[in-house]
Amino acid sequence: MIARRTRRQRDPRRAVDVTPHDSVVLQLVDVTKVFPGPTEVRALDGVDLVVERGELLAIVGPSGSGKSTLLNVIGTLDRATSGSVFIEGRNAATFNDKELAGLRSSRIGFVFQQFNLLEGLSATDNVATGMLYQGASMRRRRQAAEVALRRVGLGHRLAAKPSTMSGGERQRVAIARALVGDPAIVLADEPTGNLDSVTSAEIVKLLLDLHNEGVTILVITHDNELAAQLPRQVRVRDGRLDHDWATERAGQDAPTPAITELSAS
C-alpha cells in the first residue's frame, strides 16, 4: 500500500527529512556506492527507496546495472559510500560491525540463488541455522524450523538432507530459513535463477502467498518476466532507480517514513 505523504519534520541529528510512518521497513536516502581504483566505478548514484511493511517488490535490471550492489547495501553486507540506509528506522551507518551482524541475524532474511544449504544437515537443522545468532536453544530453533518448513509446504521433508531434494525443495528450505527468525524484510537474490520454468512458477506462487500473509519481500532479479508478476517493480539502470511502476500506477509519491531512535538494540 502506498500511503499519503504527510508533513515532514527535520531531525537535527542528520541531514534527511523524516516523517512519522510506522509502516515503513526500509528507506534509502541518497545512497551512493563508489568503488575506487584507476577507473572509479559509481555502482550506486543517489538512490532513494521506500519499502513499506508487507510489500512484495522486484528490483530489476540487467547485469552491471547496480542491483547486486544495492542488495548488498540494503542487506548491510556492504556499507554505502554516502547516504543513509534505515532498517525499521534505524540508521545502519551508525552501527559497528558487531551491531550490523546482530541486525542482519534478527531483522533481515536472505534467500540466495545457490541455496547455500549445508549438505550434512537435515532440512530442519538447515532452517534452524537461521536463528543461530539469536540466542535461542536448539530445541526452540528446531521447533521454529519445523513450523517454517510446514509454512513453505515441506512438512513431509523435515528430516531430508539437501542431496535428496529437488531444486525447488532446496529453494523452499532456503526460504524457510529466511523466514524462521521472523525478520522485518526478506531479501531474495535471483530466487528462481537455478530453477526450471515449472518450479520457478511454484516459487513465485509461494512468494505471492507469503506476501498475502504480510511478509515483506524484496526480490533482486534480471528476469523481467518474474518481475512483472510482482505487485511493484523498481528498475535499476547505471546505478540509479529509473522507474518505480507501482508508485506511478498509484499516482502518488512514495511516503517518507519515520526514523526512530538510532539504537542498536
What SS3 state is found at 50?
strand
**Overall number of domains in the chain:** 1
Per-residue pLDDT, averaged over 5-15, amounts to 33
Is residue 90 assigned to a domain? Answer: yes
Report the distance separating Cα 245 and Cα 239, nearest Å.
Answer: 17
Residue 168 pLDDT: 96
Is residue 101 assigned to a domain? Answer: yes
pLDDT greater at residue 7 or residue 115: 115
Nearest to 215 by CA among 56, 64, 49, 100: 56
Is residue 9 assigned to a domain? Answer: no
**pLDDT tens-digit series, residues 212-243:** 999 999 999 999 999 999 999 999 999 999 88
What nine digits make up the cell of 8? 515532514
Q: What is the mean pLDDT of the chain?
A: 86
What pTM value is reported for the model?
0.84
Answer whether residue 262 shows pLDDT above 60.
Answer: no
What's the CATH code of the domain at 168?
3.40.50.300
Nearest to 165 by CA among 152, 178, 183, 181: 152
Is residue 170 assigned to a domain? Answer: yes
Is residue 262 assigned to a domain? Answer: no
Segments forming the whole domain that contains residue 224: 16-250
Is residue 11 assigned to a domain? Answer: no
Q: Where are the alpha helices (DSSP H) in the chain?
A: 67-74, 97-107, 123-128, 138-151, 167-179, 197-212, 224-228, 245-250
Is residue 67 assigned to a domain? Answer: yes
What nine digits make up the cell of 104? 542482519
